[in-house]
Every structure is written in structure tokens, then in C-alpha cells.
Chain A
Amino acid sequence: AQSVAQPEDQVNVAEGNPLTVKCTYSVSGNPYLFWYVQYPNRGLQFLLKYITGDNLVKGSYGFEAEFNKSQTSFHLKKPSALVSDSALYFCVPDRNNRLAFGKGNQVVVIP
């Protein structure tokens, strides 16, 4: 079974600073991991995914994530946060071809 933990309820970051949203996973077998974002009053949008291959995955809107097997992490990063990046971010494992969305992490980018 695959599960993830997003340890911080809310991430606050100043505009222009690096943004990191943390995710650690526990899996049996090879993990399939995804990041989704939900902007206020909108549906979710796919950002990126890790299946196999390169550990550094680049996604939409300047985001990237690094799959780290030794630390069992899949943190989402952006070099310079924008106010418009304020949203709810979901680290999502694939469970038998069904995505298991949790509560997500609220990110607030402060102008």
C-alpha cells in the first residue's frame, strides 16, 4: 500500500523566496507519486508526476519535485514564489490506479 504524509498544515513564504512543500511517502514496491494544486474556489490541477526514471521531475508553472528514495521524500519546490502560488497543494500516491488525495497543504505567499 502507498501512503504519504504532508507534515505541515500551512506553509507561509514571502514572495520571491524559495517555496518548498514537503511530502514523505511509505510504499511497498515502486511508488507512483503526483502533485496537484487547487487554487481558491477552483478544481484541482495536475502539476507533475514521478513514475520511474529521473529523480528530478519538472512540472507546470515552474514547479519541480525531487524523488529521494533514501529519505522517502517527494518535496515540491519552486525557486521564487509568486503571490498567485497561494493555493492548496496535494501530494498524491497512486493506489492500484486510484489516486488517494489527502487534506493537502495550504500555501500562503506573502507579498
Chain B
Amino acid sequence: NAGVTQTPKFQVLKTGQSMTLQCAQDMNHNSMYWYRQDPGMGLRLIYYSASEGTTDKGEVPNGYNVSRLNKREFSLRLESAAPSQTSVYFCASSLTVETGELFFGEGSRLTVL
């Protein structure tokens, strides 16, 4: 029972490079989320998907795109990475957006040089 799985766990990029963070959940949840965590800033919501086929912006969507590939998978893409995107990224899922009980992945640490 894996829960929420994120890949990769660590990544170093150069400014301007692109990459995609992958997230998959095996709990048959409808809603999925991407957060970033920065020292002194807490967790901030980047994008979320309330259900398969929908995505919405969170607090800090600029510089990111997402794809809800199917019910299980929700990917986050950085088209042209910037040093300001150096952060720890967390994917989460919940049964619905109303339940408030999020299950988090272990995080992906991204460094942009």
C-alpha cells in the first residue's frame, strides 16, 4: 500500500532547463495537489485538481504547469526553471476537496542553479 509516490526525490537543474515531477496515488482519491515548501514560508499551494479532468491554480502557479493524466496521476512541469523555484515539492491527495484529510508524498527536493 504505497499511498502517494513522487519521483524523483532529488533533482538539480540549471536555470532554463525543464523538468516534470511525477505523482501517483493508489487510494482511489478524486483530488490531488501540488505544494511547495520553503524555509519561513510554510507550504504554499501551486495547483490542484479537484477531480479527474479539472485543474485549478493555487497561491503560486506562475512558472508551473500541471496535467491530471488520469485519476491516479498528477504531474507538475517546470518549463524554464529559475533559482526561485528551488524548493521542496510535495504532492498530496484526498478523497475529495471537501474532506480536508490530505495524504502527502515524501517530497521532491529541487535545486535550480
Judge whether A29 is part of the interface by a CB distance below 8 angstroms.
no
Q: What is the bound-complex CA distance between A98 and B31, given in angstroms? A: 11
Q: Which of A46, A98, A102, A104 contacts B58 (CB 8 A)?
A: A98
With A98-B48, A104-B42 as contacts: A43 and B101 at CB distance below 8 Å: no
Q: Which of A34, A41, A97 contacts B98 (CB 8 A)?
A: A97
With both beta carbons as reference points, the residue of chain A lying nearest to B58 in the complex is identified as: A98
Give the interface size bracket for B toward A: 20 to 34
With both beta carbons as reference points, the residue of chain A lying nearest to B3 in the complex is identified as: A43
With A98-B48, A98-B97, A99-B100 as contacts: A43 and B42 at CB distance below 8 Å: no
Give the interface size bracket for A toward B: 10 to 19
Q: What is the bound-complex CA distance between A46 and B97, given in angstroms? A: 15
With both beta carbons as reference points, the residue of chain A lying nearest to B39 in the complex is identified as: A103
Q: What is the bound-complex CA distance between A103 and B44, given in angstroms? A: 10
Q: Which of B43, B50, B101, B105 contacts A101 (CB 8 A)?
A: B43
Q: Which of B40, B44, B107 contacts A43 (CB 8 A)?
A: B107
With A43-B90, A43-B107, A44-B90 as contacts: A99 and B102 at CB distance below 8 Å: yes
Q: What is the bound-complex CA distance between A8 and B48, given in angstroms? A: 30
Residues of chain A in range 70-111 having any CB-CB distance to chain B below 8 Å:
90, 94, 97-99, 101-104
Q: CB-CB < 8 A to A101: which residues of B?
A: 35, 42-44
Query: Interface 1/0s, chain B 41-69, versus A by CB < 8 A?
Result: 11111001010000000100000000000
With both beta carbons as reference points, the residue of chain A lying nearest to B101 in the complex is identified as: A46
Judge whether B4 is part of the interface by a CB distance below 8 angstroms.
yes
| Chain B proximity of A98: nearest CB distance (Å) | 6
**Are A94 and B42 in contact (CB-based, < 8 A)?**
no
5 intermolecular pairs with C-beta atoms under 8 Å apart: A34-B100, A34-B101, A43-B105, A44-B102, A101-B43
Q: Which residues of A are interface residues toward B (Cβ below 8 A)? A: 32, 34, 36, 41-46, 49, 90, 94, 97-99, 101-104
